[in-house]
Chain A
Amino acid sequence: MASAANNPAEAAISAEHLVRHFGKFTAVNDVSFRVEKGEIFGFLGPNGSGKTTVIKMLTGLLPLSEGSAYVEGLDVRSDSEAIRERIGYMSQNFSLYFDLTVAENLQFYGRVYGLDPARLKRRLDEIVELNGLGPYLNRLSAQLSGGWKQRLALGCAMLHEPKLLFLDEPTAGIDPVARRQLWDLLFELSGHGITFFVTTHYMDEAERCSHVAYIYYGKLIADGTPNSLRELPDVQPPGTMRIEISTPEVTRALRFARQIPGIRSATIFGQSIHALVEDHFNLDDLREQLLKNGIAVAEIRPLAPSLEDVFVELTNKHQALLETTHV
């Protein structure tokens, strides 16, 4: 590994052995990762797995129980005030003042970051232009739709030209079109050299990130580019392949498939089953066996693992690990 990669000053975020306890509960357990400048870093995990806790630790809202972290080269344990000047944060619930207008919300955050009037004016113009908020400036933010609230919250979080933006589930509860538009905006901003730390539940969003990490019950169980994760031996063990079985009777097919030797694992994905099978497995045999049992099969084809497959595999493996260590 190159020496530059170990230098926390070079990274947007460098977290080492982060631990956070709440009483006896360990919400974050020895989490280490590194986000390079300009990346769109997708931070994934089930609800309650510690995503928000990690964000709060990195933004100085929560002290670390153990470990160390550097944000934009600054130590979160001692320089959290300097960090706050350099980062933007958008929380899950669009922290806007609903009784203020769009313009007033922006004005307020501009003042909070101490922008001088000339710079404030310039930034307001830029943000309004970029986020397309122009027609809504004098509207109360309570009256905006979810997508526009989100854009306004993003605008408020980046008025002070932060180099790094934390977005905690930015697309939760907004419609698909607004979701896509927000991502287009993130890509555009990322092109300007801004780093994004994004948590999400949507796998299609995860696929768009340049770097993803997956946290499961406080443990980081995957970290890399989406492509490198697909090639992990845990996900795609040597001598196996992944197939998709499309069928109208997914539940029956699943029960059946799990009994067939040679199928290592199987999971339902909508109207199909994704299964990990051994290389020598004959797909035509499988089709016949299914048909013989009265299960209609539309199609069986090989499949590259999606990120969702990756996380399902890793979660299962980790869950099994947790159970064996507990017994």
Chain B
Amino acid sequence: MFDSFRGFGAIFYKEALHVRRDAGTLFFSLTMPLLQMFLLGFGVDTNIRQINTVVYNADGRRESRELIDRMKNSDTFHVIRYVENDHDLNDLIISGNARVGIKVPVDYSDRLIHNMSAQVLVLIDGSDSSVAGQAINVTTAIGLDESLRRVLQDRSTFAVEMRPKLLFNPDSRSPNFFLPGLTAIMLLNVTTFLTAFSIVREKERGTLEQLFVTPVRPYGLLLGKLLPYLGIGFFELCLILTFMRFLFRVPIHGSVLLLALLALPYLFAALSLGILISSKANSQAEAMQLAFLPILPSVFFSGYIFPRETMPVIFKPISYMIPATYFINITRGVILRGAGIKHLWTDGLALCIIGTILLFIAARRFQKKVIMA
């Protein structure tokens, strides 16, 4: 057992020397994720507000103006222009200047006064689904509310009243949503690249072949390569958490210690992935290409941006194979929902299993490695 890890100490020692000597690369790889964090933390807001809107009010009387005012007050719509005909209304939407066009017909007030149903045309640019969804929801709600107000004179007698309460992120702040997920993506970036490169460099130099002629065993080699970068990944995690908590003011509701503990299997899985990549790649350029491969699925299939629930059935298994899926659940769980070990141990276990499988495959590949003459 001990024998199959032979050479671990020597490789670890050497790897630590490499890292210390190449402080520039280390600094770069540690600060790049922070830069991403600044961009996403400050620059992106998922809440849809102030959609550019064009209004064609053919009626123009008090009732119609009241309706437009209610729309404006919802904070969802920002009226950029009032137009006087259908053509201008359409044109502003086609040109992209407005996302929503509201047309109040000429008989709007008349119909209301005669207790007839009045129609308002709402044109929505469907090219951005989240903007369109928000516009539909808000206009429907305003219409419903307006109708109820007219039917029921006394508003206290609503038969059913829904009282939504936003848990965990009451102000629905974007950094709270983005940064815990981003943590997983950024750690994946740093660790996969660093390990993949550290091994491929040895391939290019020929030192890997040299190591294979020494008593170093594959697991000793791989763990010696893995652990220093585990340390770096862990340090990066602490850095990210510090910035997230104190600069972006994302409250951490659960135990930081638990988060740190569960980060270990995630880092292990990411590093093993890096090693697997290096077993395939023969040059640093190739390693670079391969290391980018897991990034996109990790962003799109892990639930980081798009909810996994809406994924087509065939993509679900993919999301279960992606380490980031589990770690995003862990970070959001601990940071936002205050989840404990009893909620998250399955995620931790899944990461351990994925990491072990990846490392096993990589070690096998190195064991069988046939170096061509």
Does B205 touch A at the CB level, under 8 Å? yes
Q: How many pairs, one residue from A and one from B, have CB atoms within 8 Å of each other in the complex?
A: 75
Q: By the criterion CB–CB under 8 Å, are A111 and B9 in contact?
A: yes
Say whether A91 contacts B210, CB under 8 Å: yes
One of B75-83, B161-169, B213-221, B345-353 contacting the partner = B213-221
Given contacts A99-B22, A112-B215, A113-B215, is CB(A89)–CB(B210) below 8 Å?
Answer: yes
Chain B residue at minimal CB-CB distance from A63: B370
A52 to B373, CA, bound (A): 6
Contact of B18 with A by CB under 8 A: yes
Complex Cα gap A119–B212 (Å): 23
How large, as a class, is the contact surface on chain B?
20 to 34
Q: Classify chain A's interface size.
A: 20 to 34
Given known pairs A27-B373, A104-B17, A108-B13, the reply for A95 and B216 (CB within 8 Å) is: no
B207 close to A96 (CB less than 8 A):
yes
Q: Which residues B1-34 have CB closer than 8 A to chain A? A: 6-7, 9-11, 13-14, 17-18, 21-22
> B211 in the interface, Cβ–Cβ < 8 Å?
yes
Q: Which residues of B contact A93 (CB under 8 A)?
A: 205-206
- Least CB distance, B204 to chain A, in whole angstroms: 10
Given A62-B373, A112-B215, 18 more contacts at CB 8 Å?
Answer: A53-B373, A59-B213, A61-B212, A62-B370, A62-B371, A93-B206, A95-B207, A95-B209, A97-B14, A98-B205, A99-B17, A99-B18, A99-B21, A99-B22, A111-B7, A111-B13, A112-B11, A113-B214
Q: Are B216 and A112 in contact (CB under 8 A)?
A: yes
Q: Which residues of B contact A84 (CB under 8 A)?
A: 213-215
A62-B371, A95-B207, A98-B205 known; A81 vs B212 contact (CB < 8 Å): no
Q: Are B213 and A112 in contact (CB under 8 A)?
A: no
Which positions 53-111 of chain A face chain B at CB distance < 8 Å? 53, 56, 59-63, 81, 84-85, 87, 89, 91-93, 95-100, 104, 107-109, 111
Instruction: Compute how far the CA of A104 lies from the CA of B10 in the bound complex, rounded to whole angstroms.
Output: 11
16 contacts between A and B (CB under 8 A): A27-B373, A50-B373, A59-B213, A61-B213, A89-B210, A95-B206, A95-B210, A99-B17, A99-B18, A99-B22, A111-B9, A111-B10, A111-B13, A112-B10, A112-B211, A114-B215
Which A residues lie at the B interface, using CB under 8 A?
Answer: 22, 27, 50, 52-53, 56, 59-63, 81, 84-85, 87, 89, 91-93, 95-100, 104, 107-109, 111-114
Specify which chain B residues have a CB less than 8 angstroms from the CB of A97 in the assembled complex. Answer: 14, 18, 205, 207
A52 / chain B contacts, CB cutoff of 8 Å: 373
Q: How far is the CB of B121 from chain A (nearest CB, A)?
A: 69
